[in-house]
Amino acid sequence: MSKRDLKKYLKELDKGQLEEQLLELYEKFSDVKVYYDFVFNPKEEKLLQESKLKITNEYFPLKGKRPKLRRSTAQKIIKHFLSLGVDAFVVADLMLHNIEVAQKYAAKREMRYSSFYKSMLNSFEQVVKYSIENGLVSEYRSRIFEVKDKALAQKWENREEFERVLDIFD
């Protein structure tokens, strides 16, 4: 069904039928419930802290287990934040937190997987572009440059690429 067809269908329904359909969607699909729960009670700070904890737990588990190092966990959370329409400051903060935690882990333990470095570079490009698009460069410039400097200091295999990403600032 196209958006145009949906609009036409919705115009044919009266207010009671619309309310009934929305309630049905709310009960049936957890994504709809999550969306409306966030829209009517946007506890962004709490959501951010819980998400930061999840990301940190991937590298530094609270329980004595081995770290899982799943970079996809952070990407899923960031994608979820974007779909909810969370404030851009919060999203950029979370994006940077993801890279910073990975760098703390890499400082303690050498990473042998080139996929790790590639993923961190992609995350870095994402946060730089997102900051520019949303006018957040002045707020996050120092953290962005710290990430680049740590990649250089830790001698990441793609450290030169981190510098090239920052060329778009100029």
Alpha helices in the chain (DSSP H): 3-12, 15-28, 30-40, 44-59, 71-84, 88-108, 114-133, 137-153, 159-165
- Give mean pLDDT, residues 14-35: 92
- Does residue 146 surpass a pLDDT of 70? yes
Give the C-alpha separation, 150 to 127, whole Å. 16
20's CB contacts (< 8 A; 6+ apart) are none
pTM: 0.84
Confidence of residue 38 (pLDDT cuts 50, 70, 90): confident
Confidence of residue 81 (pLDDT cuts 50, 70, 90): very high
The predicted pLDDT at position 170 comes to 61
Give the C-alpha separation, 135 to 133, whole Å. 6
The tokens 């002045």 sit on which residue? 138
Percent of the chain with pLDDT over 90: 79
